[in-house]
């Protein structure tokens, strides 16, 4: 009777359907010396659970985490970078230093050259897709074929 009960509990245990009390019954059974021979394979597992249940963590856990990086130094570094940036970024007297032009006419001439170059390259790109006009002609021819098909379906009453 007891063996039947243990086997049923083992089946429930393997399916994950046991309660804590039922698991305690299994642990007590397998910790005893009177284990059935065909259930001996479960004995080391339940003995491990009993030993593991008695283990305790004895190391002290620090309550405060140590800061690895001091954030005050970030603000000091940011101020230093800004100061150096303002110091070395003094406006120059030369207009061409940053790629700008002092004379508006010179700037207009340069912009015109750049736009002409862009237009030239754009026109080269459109020449390569000229075959699409032929595709448009082919689709218009297909439109005529659709009209012929509609007419023949009216005549033959399909």
Tell me the pLDDT tens digit for each residue of 64-79: 766 666 777 788 888 8
- Distance separating alpha carbons of residues 15 and 25, to the nearest angstrom: 17
- Distance separating alpha carbons of residues 31 and 22, to the nearest angstrom: 14
Q: Are 30 and 43 in contact (CB under 8 A)?
A: yes
Q: At what angle do helices 20-31 and 2-15 cross, to 10 degrees?
A: 120
The segments of the chain whose pLDDT lies below 70 read 1, 65-69, 89-99, 125-128, 130, 158
Query: What are 109-122's pLDDT values in tens digits?
Result: 988 998 888 888 77
pLDDT of res. 41: 87
pLDDT of res. 92: 57
pLDDT of res. 99: 67
- Distance separating alpha carbons of residues 118 and 101, to the nearest angstrom: 21
pTM of model > 0.75: no
Classify 16 as helix, strand or coil: coil
First to last CA, the chain: 85
């Amino acid at each position: 009777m007891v063996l039947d009960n243990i086997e049923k509990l083992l089946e429930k245990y393997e399916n994950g359907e046991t309660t804590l009390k039922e698991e305690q019954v299994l642990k007590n059974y397998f910790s005893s010396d009177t284990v059935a021979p065909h259930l001996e394979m479960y004995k080391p597992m339940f003995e491990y659970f009993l030993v593991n249940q008695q283990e305790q963590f004895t190391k002290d856990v620090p309550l405060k985490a140590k800061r690895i990086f001091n954030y005050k130094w970030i603000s000091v570094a940011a101020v230093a970078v800004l100061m150096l940036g303002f110091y070395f970024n003094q406006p120059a007297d030369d207009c061409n230093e940053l790629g700008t032009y002092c004379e508006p006419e010179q700037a207009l001439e340069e912009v015109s050259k750049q736009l002409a170059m862009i237009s030239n390259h754009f026109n080269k790109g459109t020449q390569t897709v000229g075959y699409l006009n032929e595709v448009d002609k082919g689709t218009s021819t297909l439109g005529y074929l659709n009209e012929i098909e509609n007419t023949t379906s009216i005549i033959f009453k399909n």
